[in-house]
Amino acid sequence: MVTNLGCLIIYLIIIGDVLCGNESGGTLQLGVLQEWFGIQWWNSRAYVILFVVLFVMLPLVFLPHMNSLRHSSAISILLAVVFIAISSAMAIYAFWKGKTQNMRLLPDFANQVSIFDLFTTVPVLVTGFGFHVNIHPIRSELSRPSDMSYAVRISLAISIAIYFSIGFFGYMLFGESIMSDILVNFDQNSDSAIGQLVNNTVRLSYAMHLALVFPVINFSLRTNIDELLFAKKPVLAKDKSRFTILTCLLLALTYTIAIVIPNIWYFFQFLGSTTVVCLSFIFPGAIVLRDVHGISRRKDKVMAILVIIMAILTSMIAIATNLWTVG
């Protein structure tokens, strides 16, 4: 529940960055709406995200079944592919013209960067693959539950391809100036109207992708909270009043936190160092060690112990490094 709520907040923050811009290190990055209409009261982060929540996300999160989101989910994947295709083409074109940024294979430890700072990237990587909490609600609505194993493999392959492409071509484009939210980097002014149109298309396509993925994560979060608080009540989809109240409360909470803390880095670090590590490494390792069905071999248990130890050590180092940096 904590992981899903944090990811929903991250989605809203990124959408706000795209539409309303962001300020980091004293540098103001303009959003799409600010580039088009200038800085106005109505295109500030609070009003724009509220508009998106009410008129884009609210109708989708009110759908009672995961199966109802299949079309919006398909569109979201298509938008992610569009984002990758355009950003990759931009990077290749910049490389052809000799305009790409300098790229390093190793960190620059000479500029107040220690080897412990490398551990702060681990939570981000772990968070990217920590969405298997949606497997059970999706599997329960499949006509053939056995197809879930193929769906998981395909999803992992698509995720790896998307993350690798965005990371590689994004770093090729922006180099050391790359932001924690890469979409903010696409605010740069282009020499032509076509170039500016491409930049805006890249940002808007991925922002819309996140808006359409939002209801899928929200579905799992809402279901788990309902089962925790109302275990003896009827199924949530059949109780319209409980369904409506819980949906509105979760959406309002997500919106409020996204406005109060408009920085995705804090959420990535917190989730990736705590709940996602538990879901991805510590709990699976514990299941292998417990071995209820007596199927774990000695090699499996040794591997589980190593995974748990490495996950705990990495998380502790990442948390300590972030606290030291902030302090």
Is residue 120 scored above 60 in pLDDT? yes
Contact 94, 172 (CB under 8 A): yes
- How many CB atoms are closer than 10 A to CB 230? 13
State the pLDDT at residue 190: 58
State the pLDDT at residue 262: 78
State the pLDDT at residue 27: 65
Token pair belonging to 116: 């412990």
> Can you list the positions of beta strands (E) in the chain?
22-24, 27-29
Q: What angle do CA 70, 73, 75 make, to 5 degrees?
A: 110
Q: What is the pTM of this model?
A: 0.80
Distance CA 318, CA 327 (A): 14
Per-residue pLDDT, averaged over 27-48, amounts to 84
Candidate ranges 18-22, 97-101, 121-125, 247-251; pick with highest mean pLDDT: 247-251
Is residue 30 scored above 70 in pLDDT? yes
Parallel/antiparallel/unpaired status of strands 27-29 and 22-24: antiparallel
Under the banding of pLDDT at 50, 70 and 90, the label for residue 143 is confident
- Burial class of residue 323 in the structure, from the number of CB atoms within 10 Å of its CB (0-12 exposed, 13-18 middle, 19+ buried): exposed
| Mean per-residue pLDDT of the chain | 84
28 DSSP β-pair partners: 23
Chain-centre distance for alpha carbon 57: 16
State the pLDDT at residue 271: 79
Distance CA 291, CA 284 (A): 11
Percent above pLDDT 70 for the chain: 90
46-90 residue pLDDT tens: 999 999 999 999 999 998 888 888 888 889 889 988 888 888 888
Distance CA 12, CA 259 (A): 9
Distance CA 191, CA 186 (A): 13
7 φ, ψ to 5°?
Answer: -70, -40
Distance CA 294, CA 202 (A): 50
Amino acid at 323: L
Distance CA 18, CA 83 (A): 13
Distance CA 92, CA 208 (A): 24
Q: How far apart are the first and last CA of the chain?
A: 29
- Pick from 207, 215, 208: which is nearest to 251 by CA? 215
Is residue 132 scored above 80 in pLDDT? no
188-235 residue pLDDT tens: 655 667 777 888 888 888 889 899 989 988 988 998 899 999 888 888
Q: 35 Cβ partners below 8 Å, 6+ apart? A: 187, 196, 200
Contact 169, 162 (CB under 8 A): no
SS3 209: helix
Distance CA 256, CA 2 (A): 16
144-156 residue pLDDT tens: 888 888 888 888 8
The CA dihedral of 222, 225, 227, 231, to the nearest 10 degrees, is: -130
- How many CB atoms are closer than 10 A to CB 232? 4
Distance CA 211, CA 199 (A): 19
